[in-house]
Structure 1
Amino acid sequence: MNKITIIGAGRVGETTAQILAEKELCREIALLDVREGIPEGIALDILQTGPFFEFDCSVNGSNDPQILRDSELVIVTAGLARKPGMSRSDVLEANVRIIDAVTDQILEYAPDAMVLMVSNPVDTLTYRFAQRSGWERRRIFGQAGVLDASRMASFIAQETGFSTLDITTMVLGGHGDTMVPVPRFCTINGIPISTFISEERIAAIMERTRQGGAEILALRKNSSAYDAPGAAVAAMVDAIVNNRRRLLSCVALLEGEYGETDLAMGVPCILGEKGMESIVELSLNPGERADFDRSVASVRGDIDRLRAISSTQELE
């Protein structure tokens, strides 16, 4: 890939840019942010790590949205970060306004790009971008389940003492308190985790996964997570750039899959050079389906709030 632009040079955006540069996943990385001097300073700082990490892709920053030109992929991390005690949905109203402005910039300067949404609440904002842009769904996807699955895998590794390299996990649903970790599809080198972990401890791991972001936010106090989110975004970019066709849980627009339409939320997707190439429908048992339906209801609640916010904005 020639050019990737990251909108939002906060901690997630900066970490993502650093990892993309180190992995040389494109020839040019651009950082766009409204704060004067910030994207240029971050770009220069990252560029100067090149001799240590042995990469030579260019890294640039700007406040001018024209830096989006020729981008093949746009990663959106811009928005208000939540504070301790806040849910991802609590920042919806502020972030909708930001994402609407970002969407218009992408439509003007990078109309042929793919968009990877990271800003929260990611399910609702991915949906918002799709509605405002009118693009086909393969070009629009969000980061959620990749991060949630990595958190769950880390917790399983802590519990069992096994290497995270052998642990595979699956998390569905909205990226929030109603996310759906699915232990039936979680394995250690192909062996179900129930072989090694009691039902009680699995339930505790599932709940800790749901609260994974809040746990870090409560501990750090002045910042939400950014290292693992940046790594999760880089994993998705790697799947696209190298056409790996990886099966990853991503926020995708549903068109009848799992019995749902007019909705964006986390489901297993095939990611390749064309973007979100297809959705894999898992056969959920009654308990999993009930959890999934609760997550659907939560995301739809945010979409209803989104519509109310839009109506208010139109009247202003």
Structure 2
Amino acid sequence: MITILGAGKVGMATAVMLMMRGYDDLLLIARTPGKPQGEALDLAHAAAELGVDIRISGSNSYEDMRGSDIVLVTAGIGRKPGMTREQLLEANANTMADLAEKIKAYAKDAIVVITTNPVDAMAYVMYKKTGFPRERVIGFSGILDSARMAYYISQKLGVSFNSVNAIVLGMHGQKMFPVPRLSSVGGVPLEHLMSKEEIEEVVSETVNAGAKITELRGYSSNYGPAAGLVLTVEAIKRDSKRIYPYSLYLQGEYGYNDVVAEVPAVIGKSGIERIIELPLTEDEKRKFDEAVQAVKKLVETLPPQLRE
């Protein structure tokens, strides 16, 4: 069973996409009475129309997630126009700490995937508070960041974004580090296809993509995160050994310890199986370090009870 914590815009976009794939039964949990039950019933009717034979239910009780093998955390306060992801920090950290206790109590064997912002810091809180192996606490971020970069590259070059391999590291925030030198189109390094000015535009568009969506429509991205969650669930359910960027707790990788950073990793049925360490130049290491230090600063501003 796949449990989604939170029945807001991200949670429901994820539920719709997962229903259409039919990987497993779905459970929606949210605090508002009737909200998850009503959403689940409507979604179940849609599944019946489409011939997707899975069970979809809603609940206000966290106990109902017993037996879940995947828990997707979408609960928390979302960004509004003019806000950064980092401004959501303490309120959402309290939510993560509360949910971590419930997941630990009722879904102790689950793989936990967090989308709540700022996701790197939230993944750190979830890891510390559940006490789960780091392989089973995954911050969703990099799939979306790299896809956004691939989209902007494809638009400038007039090619399919399926031909683009875009690399983004560090964090899901203003200090994220798109890496043009390691990005390519059809196997050709990006620097051979685009001018320095065009690359700088792509980097800026990638970093500011979420803010632009929020400014244009008044609330933050939901379809993009949902699509990335679906790809993550698929990789786990099919044990596909795909390599995606995630926000993960580092234990020596890239020279860091006790911090969450956005890095590429192999994902399969047991969660994260291996972190991939990319060869970075000195300048790239500096930019990666700036992102990591930004995450550390966020975590350090939290009260001790939320980060220990």
Normalising by structure 2, we get a TM-score of: 0.97
Aligned counterparts of 1:233 and 1:185: Cα–Cα separation in 2: 24
Corresponding position: 1:229 with 2:255: no
Amino acid at match of 2:74: T
Aligned counterparts of 2:194 and 2:146: Cα–Cα separation in 1: 17
Match of 1:15 in 2: 13
Aligned counterparts of 1:286 and 1:208: Cα–Cα separation in 2: 24
Match of 1:306 in 2: 302
What secondary structure sits across from 1:262 in the alignment? Answer: strand
List aligned pairs for 1:10-49, cutoff 5 A: 10-26=8-24, 28-49=25-46
Q: Deviations over 1:178-231 (max 9, x none)?
A: 00111122111211222321111111111111111101000011x211011100
Aligned counterparts of 2:7 and 2:262: Cα–Cα separation in 1: 25
Aligned counterparts of 1:143 and 1:64: Cα–Cα separation in 2: 25
Decide whether aligned partners of structure 1 residues 193 and 52 sit closer, same or farther in structure 2, where only a CA change above 3 A counts.
farther
Aligned counterparts of 1:251 and 1:54: Cα–Cα separation in 2: 35
CA RMSD of the aligned region, Å?
1.4
Match of 2:253 in 1: 257
Aligned counterparts of 1:113 and 1:309: Cα–Cα separation in 2: 23
Decide whether aligned partners of structure 1 residues 301 and 309 sit closer, same or farther in structure 2, where only a CA change above 3 A counts.
farther
Aligned counterparts of 1:47 and 1:170: Cα–Cα separation in 2: 37
Aligned counterparts of 1:205 and 1:104: Cα–Cα separation in 2: 40
Match of 2:104 in 1: 107
Q: Deviations over 1:29-56 (max 9, x none)?
A: 0000011111111111221222444311
List aligned pairs for 1:131-146, cutoff 5 A: 131-146=128-143
Match of 2:116 in 1: 119
Correspondent of 1:164 among 139, 161, 166? 161
Aligned counterparts of 2:198 and 2:188: Cα–Cα separation in 1: 17
Aligned counterparts of 2:283 and 2:23: Cα–Cα separation in 1: 40
Match of 2:190 in 1: 193
What secondary structure sits across from 1:197 in the alignment? Answer: coil
What percent identity do the matched residue pairs reach?
A: 37
Match of 2:266 in 1: 270
- 2:29–2:60 CA contact under 8 A, matched in 1: yes
What secondary structure sits across from 1:276 in the alignment? Answer: strand
Any stretches of 5+ residues in structure 1 without a counterpart? none
- 2:103–2:130 CA contact under 8 A, matched in 1: no
Amino acid at match of 2:96: I
Normalising by structure 1, we get a TM-score of: 0.94
